[in-house]
Chains A and B, each alone.
Chain A
């Protein structure tokens, strides 16, 4: 089966850089995604890594190392609005082809302080 581990909470100050780690165990690997969820809201897609290396989207970057079964989300120039939960997710291996099924980690709550 699949399992993902991420820290439950991270705290940082406004303007700083924070890294949220995710380690995974999967029977087949099809890429790592990241989602953001504000309190009371719906998850929204942030980024995807299918190959090793860094993907950058504005202040957010995501990194993947397939050999280490490890990835991270890097948030730069933190703003108060970045306070949210962040989830890593992998595709469920069961079945063939693209099924749209994602398995999520338990989420990391990021608190940004002034």
Chain B
């Protein structure tokens, strides 16, 4: 069971380039989300999805697009990379649970470390 798999692990982009960060999970989780982590800023939610075909914005969505065509995959697209998007990106998934007030545990991938020059 691989859990949540993110690729690539490292990426360097030039300003203005576009790219897609891949995320796949094999746990049949309904919910998937993307976070970015910057020093001293904790984890900030970029976009999330509650199921195939349904996505919504998080706290910091500008400059990013997502789509969810299957339950397993949730790619994050950077449209035109900027130095401010230099960060570590984490994808996470969780299952729908009626208990715990909706706070079922998030399972995180190992992250993609992105540098934009």
> In the bound complex, do residue B103 and residue A50 qualify as a contact, i.e. CB atoms below 8 Å apart?
yes
- Chain B residues with Cβ under 8 A from A100's Cβ? 30-33, 48, 50, 93-94, 96, 102, 104, 106
Bound CA span A104–B40, Å: 12
**B101 interface residue per 8 A CB criterion:** yes
- Chain B residues with Cβ under 8 A from A98's Cβ? 31, 96-98, 101-102, 104
> In the bound complex, do residue A30 and residue B102 qualify as a contact, i.e. CB atoms below 8 Å apart?
yes
> In the bound complex, do residue B103 and residue A31 qualify as a contact, i.e. CB atoms below 8 Å apart?
yes
Question: Could you say which of A8, A43, A48, A99 contacts B31, with CB atoms under 8 Å apart?
Answer: A99
Which B99-117 residues have a C-beta within 8 angstroms of A? 100-111
Bound CA span A8–B109, Å: 24
> In the bound complex, do residue B105 and residue A45 qualify as a contact, i.e. CB atoms below 8 Å apart?
yes
Contacts A42-B90, A105-B42 given; indicate if A33 touches B111 (C-beta within 8 A): no
> In the bound complex, do residue B41 and residue A103 qualify as a contact, i.e. CB atoms below 8 Å apart?
no
Measured as residues with beta carbon below 8 angstroms from the partner, the interface class of chain B is 20 to 34
In the complex, what residue of chain B is closest to A32 when comparing beta carbons? Answer: B103
Question: Could you say which of B30, B35, B40, B101 contacts A30, with CB atoms under 8 Å apart?
Answer: B101
> In the bound complex, do residue B101 and residue A50 qualify as a contact, i.e. CB atoms below 8 Å apart?
yes
| Residue with the greatest number of chain B CB neighbours at <10 A, chosen from A33, A41, A42, A95 | A42
- Chain B residues with Cβ under 8 A from A107's Cβ? 42
Bound CA span A64–B97, Å: 21
Contacts A50-B100, A100-B94 given; indicate if A42 touches B108 (C-beta within 8 A): yes
**Closest 7 pairs between A and B when the two form their complex, measured CB to CB:** A100-B31, A98-B102, A45-B105, A30-B101, A106-B42, A42-B108, A104-B43
Residues of A within 8 A of B (CB): 8, 30-31, 33, 35, 41-45, 48, 50, 87, 91-92, 95, 97-107
Sample (17) of A-B pairs whose CB atoms are under 8 Å apart: A30-B101, A30-B103, A31-B102, A43-B43, A48-B103, A48-B105, A50-B103, A87-B43, A98-B31, A98-B96, A99-B31, A99-B102, A102-B45, A102-B106, A104-B42, A106-B40, A106-B42
